[in-house]
Amino acid sequence: EVQLVESGGGLVQPGGSLRLSCAASGFTFTTYWMHWVRQVPGKGLVWVSRINPDGSDTNYADFVRGRFTISRENAKNTVYLQMNSLRIEDTAVYYCVRRGDYGGVLDPWGRGTLVTVSS
């Protein structure tokens, strides 16, 4: 069974940093693109970033480019999201998602980790 388990969320002050982790299991991690998607509770889904299987190619949404960095450690089947210069509007549940087996779909999703940026 494919599992994605996020960790690292919590409360941080504006301007602070946080690193999210996503531990993957149940599939060949080294062959899949991995993504981060966020959701303000009760609101819509917003794609944040993605990384290719060997970590050499990354993409970011405009609103996080230069502040967030996605990376992966294939030996540990883990993907990370380093979040710097956090803003109040970055408050959201962050989901780790695998690229699906059908084109660019996102499937499956982790349960998410809540990041709260507040003073």
Partner 1 sequence: DIVLTQSPGPLSLSPGETATLSCRASQSIRNNYLAWYQQRPGQAPRLLIYDASSRATGIPDRFSGSGSGTDFTLTISRLEPEDFAVYFCQHYVTSTWTFGQGTKVEIK
Q: How far apart are CA 110 and CA 42, in angstroms?
A: 17
Establish if 45 lies at the interface with partner 1 (CB under 8 A).
yes
What values do phi and psi take at 74, rounded to 5? -65, -30
The residue (of 16 and 116) whose beta carbon lies closer to partner 1 is 116
Q: How far is the CB of 15 from partner 1 (least distance, A)?
A: 26
Which positions from 64 through 83 interact with partner 1, judged by CB under 8 A?
none
Q: Applying CB under 8 A, which of residues 70, 92, 112, 117 lies at the interface with partner 1?
A: 112
Establish if 95 lies at the interface with partner 1 (CB under 8 A).
yes
Q: How far is the CB of 79 from partner 1 (least distance, A)?
A: 16
What values do phi and psi take at 77, rounded to 5? 50, 45
ω into 108 cis (within 30 of 0): yes
Q: Which residue has the tokens 């962050």?
A: 94
For residue 119, give both structure tokens. 């003073």
Please give the residue ranges that form the binding site for partner 1 (CB under 8 A): 35, 37, 44-47, 50, 59, 61, 95, 100, 102-112
